[in-house]
Structure 1
Amino acid sequence: MAVKMVFQIMIVLLCSIDAILFVQAAGLAINSTSCQAICGDVSIPYPFGIGAGCYVDHWFEVVCNDSFSPPKPFLSSFGLEVLNISLGDAYRSSRSTVRVNYPTFSTRTYNSSSRKQNVELANSSFIFSQEKNIFVAMGCDNSASMGSSDGSIIGCKQSSCDSSKVVINGSSCNGTNCCQTTIASDLNAFETTIDPISDPAVTKQCNSAFLVEEEWFRESCSLINMSSIMSHVPVVLEWWILETSFNTLPIANKTAENTKAYYCDHYRYISASTKYKPSVACFCNWGFEGNPYLLSLFLSL
């Protein structure tokens, strides 16, 4: 037991020294006032950061808007509100994600198609998570589709319409006033189209279509009122660091000691229009926890 405790203490000290060296090398001031770690109720872990020198590259810059109470963080490049950031856990099949507040699309145009170009992630370090998100169309006599930058189109339409119901009941979207479908992989840009199946003007209901986090939608389905469509819903983005940025970090220079604590996956790619850019995500090895990008890793006791 004494030997095990000594070994654990040595590992913690080693990782702590590595973290200090990394902070000095990168010019970061983690745990000091120069790098804000929290905005409102949201933690901002590296490689994301608030303020110059506190994020890996411009895609990960977060702006903390204190005009809200409590303050709200936003991804600077897209103007999307950040709800949560996860570094991921490879052993629980949990990818690195950022959960954002994403705009929906609604229309009262009944005699023609309506289209909207959404926030684009092309050429960035982010894609829309195929695993976590679904595409939903709501309303009456509504058909909606999303077209991605590679030319693929997916969509759905309501199989039946009940104008007497203004609330989506139950835990699923089963075709009555609501339909849903999965999305394409490596999705980084899409256009939403809403087409009326017939003339539903008599219902006076908005038709809407939006990308949304599947888990949130199923939990909130019974609270959604079709007569008052939400302007934003949670959407999950997956993220990786572009390899060109990753190679500037001290973590890219592995040593025999720190490879025991973490590993980096160089085999994931960010789809960028018709090209693929090499990218990297790092995770703690089994038995360790912390932030691998800072080498601040500790044994899980």
Structure 2
Amino acid sequence: MLLTLIAVLASAWPAAASQPPGGTCQRRCGDVDIPYPFGIGRGCYLYTGENDVTFGLTCNLTADGTYRPFCFEVEVLGVSVARGQARVRNEINPWCYNDTSRSMDGGSSMWTDFSDSSFMLSDEDNRFTVVGCNSLAYVSSSETSQFATGSTYMTGCMATCPGAGRLENGSCSGMGCCQAAIPRGINSFDVVFEEKFNTTAIANFSRCSYAVLVEAAWFDFRTTYVTAGDFMASTGGKVPLVLDWVVGKVTCQEAMRNTTAYACVSSNSVCVDSRNGPGYLCNCSRGYQGNPYLQGGCRDIDECGDGGISYPCSVPGTCINTPGGFRCACPDKTTGNAYTGTCEAKKSQLGAHIAIDIRASPTEAQY
């Protein structure tokens, strides 16, 4: 299947990256928040080029009667500004035994292409996964990775079934399920089964096999995926996939030279070179949180407040919030370490209190 993120916009308009989105922009579709630089509709997202539709989303009514965001043809499950990532739905490639033809059906090549976008496949968060018995599948790319110059990558793994009793829920170590890592710098991939491994002999036990690139933290192997073939039914045929994104395909050093297009517009924000392909991202500076792509988007974190941050000072009532940080100060007339220790009355103050008490009891002072 060819899935290409290319859209020729009907009326492209030049826009500086620092231009803020309109206040009337839709920022939620269904149950998914849409933070800038992503957006729905003209003027509501970061426009980076005529053929790059990374940040321009649509809010579509789906067959189940709910609204969901899409990036062209790809359903978006969520967007993280802080991580520079988007979760999308990726199709599973099935390979099943056909009782009529007495052969395996499906397993055809499934090609997915993000090369005309600012997306890259996350090598840290995704794994190529094969589910089934005696099933060998590959994931490959015709694109040459910048981290593997001069070579086209291919990797795969084989799932075997020495016996039904050996399958175990949650285990993807080769028996009924296997996984393989992918390299950095990849923005397209092809999934295909090695068809010489015909599984017709075990069709009564395991009729279908599956291959897919999937978010590793989401995937949890179930033995019924092999014995009952319910991987497709339980997921709707699609699973989460994590994409890394950048706001510009240049380095931070190059981006900061172009002040009109530089995307890190909030004060207290910093530029970060992407580790997964060419490009850069923006982060709020340490001690700040929010959206670095918006004017005033990075706000000071109140470390002394509740805000989900654990109390930073060991002595209650000693935290003082500062721009981008905090300090722990013992109260007046006390001394100590409010960060990790205790605050105690100063010795000079303690002596003064004793002297006052003695002078206040002249009868006792005579003894």
Residue 279 (structure 1) shift: 2.0
Residue 221 (structure 1) shift: 2.2
Residue 66 (structure 1) shift: 2.7
Aligned-CA RMSD value: 3.0
List per-residue Cα deviations over 1:101-153 (Å, max 9, x = no partner): 11111122657994413220113200110000000111111001111123211
Residue 254 (structure 1) shift: 7.2
Q: Secondary structure at the match of 2:22?
A: coil
Q: Normalization by structure 1: what TM-score?
A: 0.74
CA distance in 2, matches of 1:112, 1:125: 35
Residue of structure 1 aligned with 2:115, choices 104, 119, 122: 122
Larger radius of gyration: 2
List per-residue Cα deviations over 1:27-58 (Å, max 9, x = no partner): 6213x2xx100000000000100011111123
Question: Aligned residue for 1:209?
Answer: 211
Q: How does 1:1-301 map to 2 (within 5 A)?
A: 26=19, 28-30=21-23, 32=24, 35-57=25-47, 58-67=53-62, 68-76=64-72, 79-88=73-82, 95-108=83-96, 114-149=107-142, 150=144, 151-162=152-163, 169-196=168-195, 198-204=197-203, 205-217=207-219, 220-222=220-222, 225-226=225-226, 227-230=229-232, 231-243=237-249, 252=262, 259=267, 261-265=268-272, 267-268=273-274, 271=277, 278-295=278-295, 296-301=297-302
Question: Aligned residue for 2:149?
Answer: none
Residue 164 (structure 1) shift: 7.3
Assess, with a 3 A threshold, how the Cα gap between structure 1 residues 215 and 181 changes in structure 2: closer, same or farther: same
CA distance in 2, matches of 1:253, 1:127: 19
Equivalent pair of 1:125/1:270 in contact (CA under 8 Å): no
Q: What one-letter code is carried by the residue in structure 2 that aligns with 1:176?
A: M
Residue 216 (structure 1) shift: 0.4
Q: What one-letter code is carried by the residue in structure 2 that aligns with 1:175?
A: G
Q: What one-letter code is carried by the residue in structure 2 that aligns with 1:73?
A: P
List per-residue Cα deviations over 1:150-193 (Å, max 9, x = no partner): 3211011124443578xx63322021111111111111111112
List per-residue Cα deviations over 1:176-220 (Å, max 9, x = no partner): 111111111111111112124643213331111100000001xx3
CA distance in 1, matches of 2:263, 2:129: 44
Residue 228 (structure 1) shift: 2.2
Equivalent pair of 2:93/2:107 in contact (CA under 8 Å): no
Identity of matched residues, %: 30
Structure possessing the higher relative contact order (Cα contacts under 8 Å, 6 or more residues apart): 1
CA distance in 1, matches of 2:248, 2:221: 36
Q: What are the ranges of 5 or more consecutive residues in structure 2 without an aligned counterpart? A: 1-15, 48-52, 98-102, 145-151, 303-367
Q: What one-letter code is carried by the residue in structure 2 that aligns with 1:81?
A: E
More helix by share: 1
Q: What are the ranges of 5 or more consecutive residues in structure 1 without an aligned counterpart? A: 1-22, 89-94, 272-277
Question: Aligned residue for 2:324?
Answer: none
Equivalent pair of 2:84/2:281 in contact (CA under 8 Å): yes
Equivalent pair of 1:50/1:62 in contact (CA under 8 Å): yes
Q: Secondary structure at the match of 2:283?
A: strand
Assess, with a 3 A threshold, how the Cα gap between structure 1 residues 156 and 128 changes in structure 2: closer, same or farther: same
Equivalent pair of 2:60/2:70 in contact (CA under 8 Å): yes
Equivalent pair of 1:206/1:229 in contact (CA under 8 Å): no
Q: What one-letter code is carried by the residue in structure 2 that aligns with 1:211?
A: L
CA distance in 2, matches of 1:164, 1:202: 18
Equivalent pair of 2:264/2:292 in contact (CA under 8 Å): no
Q: Normalization by structure 2: what TM-score?
A: 0.62
CA distance in 1, matches of 2:74, 2:104: 32
